[in-house]
Structure 1
Amino acid sequence: MDETRLRRELREAALAHRPDHARILARVERGLAEPAPAPRRRPSAGRRAGRRWTVGAAVAAAVAGVVGIGGLAATTLGDRPAPPATVLPAPGPAARAAGTVDPGSNRWWAQSDLALTTDSPVSGLTVELRVARTPGVVTTGHWQTRPADDFTVTVSEHDGALVYRWTLRPGRDMPPGPHVFAAQYNHAEGVRDASADTYTAVLTGADGGRTTLRGTFGR
C-alpha cells in the first residue's frame, strides 16, 4: 500500500471516528494513577520504521479524542443554569429589650416586666414571657403600656412554664418609644428564683424586615 493511499484512509477513518468519551477519560485516569513504566531498550531502526504508521494513527486518534472531550466539556459547562441571585432579607426594626422582676414584688406575689424600646414604627409584634412553674406559681393577670385593643393576649401552660403572649393585631402599628409588657403571678412564700424565666420579642417592620430579641429575667 503506497503512502498517499494510507494517508487518505487514515484521514477518512479519523473523520468517521466517534470517540467514546467515557472510555477515553477512564483510560487517561488509569494512566495517571499507574506508576511510570521501567525504561525499555530502544528498538532497532527496522522496528522503528515498522511502527511509524501505527504510532501516527494512534496519535491521530488521541488528538481526535481530546478534541471531542474538549467539545463535550464546553457543551456541559455552557448548558449549566446560572446560579440564582442571593436576595438578602430586609433589616429588622432597631430595638432593645430587658427583662426584670418588678421591685414591687413581695414574698407571695411577683411581676415580671419586659421593657421594650423601639427606634422606628413596628407593624408586627409578638411578645412572649415564660414564667417557670416553680412551687405555687399561678397567674394573676397581665398588662401592657399600649392600648389593650391593639393586642390579642393569651396565657397558657407549656413545657413546665406559664406562657404570656401578646400579638399585635393586623392593621395596628406600634410607634417608636419605650413600651412595657408585664406578667403577674402568685408563688410559694419566700424569695422566688426567676433565673429560668425567659422572654422573646419578634418585631416586623413595614418593609417586612424582622428582628428577634431574647433574654432572661435572672433573680
Structure 2
Amino acid sequence: MDETRLRGELREAALAHRPDRARMLARVERGMAAPPPRRDRTPGRAPWAGRRWAATAAVAATVAGVAVLGGLAVTTLQGRPPAPAATGLAAPGPAARAAGTVDAGSNRWWAQSDLALTTDGEVTGLTVELRVALTGGIVTTGHWQTRPADDFTVTVGEEPGALVYRWTLKAGRTVPAGPHTFAAQYNHAEGVRDASADAYTVVLTGRDGGRTTLRGGFA
C-alpha cells in the first residue's frame, strides 16, 4: 500500500470515529481514585502529583473559606451590643378611684366642678389637675380641697383652651386612705354651661414608687 492511500484511509477512519464520552470520563475518575504508582525518585513532578496537588488545593480553599466564614460569624456575634439585663416589673401603683361632677349648687352664671377621689392606701405623691374648657366668660372665683391647705401647692392659670387648676402634694406630706374632694369654682357666660369638654387627671405615687394615673371628664 502506497503512502498516499494509507494517509487517505487514516483520514477517513479519523473522521468516522465517535468518541465514547461516558467511558472517557469513567476512566478519568478511576485514574483519579487509583493510588499513585510507585516510582523511583526522579526530578520533576509526576503526572498524578499534579492531580493530587489540585485536589489538595481545592480542599484547602474550601477549608479556608469555611474558616473565613466562621471567623466572620464570630466577629458578628461579638460585635452585637449586649442584651439588656433582666429587670423586675415596676411596682403597682396605689389603688384609687375618681369621678368628676358639676356641683348641684351651680347656677346660670357660676359653677363648681367637683372631683371625688378615693384612695385605698396611703399616698406619698399626688397631683390633681382640673381643666375647665374656655366656653365663654370663664373666670376663676376660687378653689378648695378637703385635705389641709398647707399640704398642697395650688396653681390656677389659663392654658390653650382651658382654665387649669392644679394641686401638688408637697414633699414629705402624705394623703391617707379614704375619700377626698378637690373643687374648682368659676364664673361663666349666662345660661346652662356645657361641661362635656372639661377633664381631670390624677397621678398618685405609693411609698414603693409605684404610680397610678386616673383620667376622666365632667359630662
Shorter-normalised TM range: 0.7 to 0.9
Aligned to 1:134: 135
Alignment partners' CA distance in 2, 1:91 and 1:80: 34
User: Mapping of 1:182-197 within 5 angstroms?
Assistant: 182-197=183-198
User: Mapping of 1:160-199 within 5 angstroms?
Assistant: 160-199=161-200
User: Mapping of 1:18-167 within 5 angstroms?
Assistant: 44=25, 45-46=27-28, 49=32, 53-74=53-74, 76-78=76-78, 80=80, 82-87=82-87, 88-167=89-168
Counterpart residue identity of residue 215, structure 1: G
Alignment partners' CA distance in 2, 1:63 and 1:92: 60
Q: Secondary structure at the match of 1:112?
A: strand
Percent sequence identity is: 75
Cα shift at 1:91: 1.3
Cα shift at 1:46: 4.5
Deviates further, 137-146 or 41-50: 41-50
TM-score after normalising by structure 2: 0.74
Cα shift at 1:51: 5.3
TM-score after normalising by structure 1: 0.74
Q: Secondary structure at the match of 1:64?
A: helix
Alignment partners' CA distance in 1, 2:81 and 2:186: 59
Q: Secondary structure at the match of 2:107?
A: coil
Deviation digits for residues 39-84 of structure 1 (CA, Å, limit 9, x no counterpart): xx86734597575642442122112321342244235435655412
Counterpart residue identity of residue 69, structure 1: L
Alignment partners' CA distance in 2, 1:196 and 1:98: 15
Alignment partners' CA distance in 1, 2:86 and 2:218: 38
Aligned to 2:7: none
Counterpart residue identity of residue 54, structure 2: T
Counterpart residue identity of residue 156, structure 1: G
Equivalent pairs, count: 178
Alignment partners' CA distance in 2, 1:134 and 1:80: 56
Compared CA separation, residues 76 and 160, structure 1 to 2 (3 A): closer
Deviation digits for residues 155-188 of structure 1 (CA, Å, limit 9, x no counterpart): 1000021100000011100001111100001111
Aligned to 2:37: none
Cα shift at 1:128: 0.5
Aligned to 1:28: none
Alignment partners' CA distance in 2, 1:215 and 1:46: 88
Cα shift at 1:130: 0.4
Indicate the structure (1 or 2) with the bigger Cα radius of gyration: 2
Q: Secondary structure at the match of 1:202?
A: strand
Structure 1: state its 5+ residue gaps.
Answer: 1-40
